[in-house]
């Protein structure tokens, strides 16, 4: 293994955010700009949207590059941080663009790591709780290796992220690249795509239109919802820490999907009813992060309550329907 690189902070660091026009990438970009970074966002707009970063037009500290990150990334300037967020991340995407999902998780991660290696930059990969699959261990700790169907319809996302983690650690071991791995659990907030198939925008959009809320199975499967500002704050702490092991970032408050549907109906004041449909293949039955590592190593835990986060998210969606 080569000698570990010496990482030197500069007065104004430059951050590259792949997937910078996406839901989480755009929120990360905002935080980095607030913290004094110069930000270069790279996105091919397959699932990202210009409207997520439109408010940054004219900001001299922000640059947008429309590019597929599976292609070689060339920048002729110093870079201190690479935040790799480029990836489709919804069930609809898994079904419609599975090959693109696999390519950005493999080739895209390779190109982003290559940039970090060339620039001597610190690298963070946005991994996911989906690497645990339909977990047999609850709550999920970072030491758990997961229970993933490698050929199922969700495997294009699950396996792309698992490969991305493996490639990230290979660059760390072979090339001495400083790396960070965040495993993101269910996150919600403004700028989510309205029809991306995930439970939060699906329920909110249905409720605001007084349409039936679609619950799969009997609604007994559980999820844990973290507001986007909490998540991004945790990721920022991870990048600036010395932790090179995977870290779960999410909200450990667990609830059933049926309970969440009722919460949405109440929060929106909707007249919607609840309807039940068959559970999709490989849909995880339980999902709750063990955030002991984040609490002890990063001194981080979520602060925004579900009620507070839903108010902000619902207000955002009201303006889009």
Q: Report the catalytic residues.
A: 157
d(CA 25, CA 247): 18
Strands 179-184 and 246-249: parallel
Cβ 189 vs Cβ 229: under 8 Å:
yes
Question: 3-state class of 281 per DSSP?
Answer: coil
Q: What does the block give as tokens for 48?
A: 């990202």
Residue 216 phi, psi dihedral angles, 5° rounding: -90, 145
271, 278, 251, 246: which is closest to 131 by C-alpha?
246
d(CA 237, CA 93): 29
Q: What does the block give as tokens for 243?
A: 């932790």
Residue 144 phi, psi dihedral angles, 5° rounding: -75, 130
Cβ 256 vs Cβ 222: under 8 Å:
yes
Q: What does the block give as tokens for 167?
A: 């490639």
d(CA 307, CA 313): 10
Cβ 146 vs Cβ 83: under 8 Å:
no
CB-based contacts of 100, cutoff 8 Å, min separation 6 = 46, 88
């Amino acid at each position: 293994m080569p000698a570990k690189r010496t990482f030197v902070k500069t007065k104004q660091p430059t951050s590259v955010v792949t997937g910078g026009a996406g839901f989480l990438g755009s929120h990360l970009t905002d935080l980095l700009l607030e913290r004094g970074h110069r930000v270069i966002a790279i996105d091919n707009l397959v699932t990202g949207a210009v409207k997520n970063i439109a408010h940054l037009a004219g900001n001299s500290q922000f640059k947008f590059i429309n590019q597929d990150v599976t292609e070689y990334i060339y920048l002729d300037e110093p870079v201190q941080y690479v935040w790799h967020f480029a990836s489709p991340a919804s069930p609809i995407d898994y079904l419609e663009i599975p090959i693109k999902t696999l390519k950005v998780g493999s080739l895209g991660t390779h190109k982003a790591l290559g940039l970090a290696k060339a620039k001597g930059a610190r690298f963070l990969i946005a991994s996911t709780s989906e690497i645990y699959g339909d977990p047999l261990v609850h709550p999920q700790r970072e030491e758990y290796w997961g229970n993933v169907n490698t050929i199922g319809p969700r495997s294009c996302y699950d396996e792309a992220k698992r490969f991305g983690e493996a490639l990230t650690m290979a660059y760390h071991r072979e090339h001495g690249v400083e790396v960070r791995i965040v495993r993101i659990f269910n996150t919600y907030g403004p700028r989510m795509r309205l029809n991306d198939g995930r439970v939060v925008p699906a329920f909110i959009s249905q409720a605001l239109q007084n349409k039936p809320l679609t619950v799969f199975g009997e609604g007994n499967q559980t999820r844990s919802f973290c507001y986007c500002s909490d998540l991004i704050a945790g990721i920022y702490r991870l990048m600036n820490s010395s932790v090179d092991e995977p870290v779960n970032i999410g909200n450990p408050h667990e609830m059933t999907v049926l309970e969440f549907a009722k919460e949405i109906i109440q929060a929106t004041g909707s007249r919607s009813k609840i309807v039940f449909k068959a559970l999709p293949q490989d849909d995880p039955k339980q999902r709750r992060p063990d955030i002991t590592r984040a609490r002890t190593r990063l001194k981080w835990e979520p602060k925004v309550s579900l009620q507070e986060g839903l108010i902000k998210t619902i207000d955002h969606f009201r303006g889009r329907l």
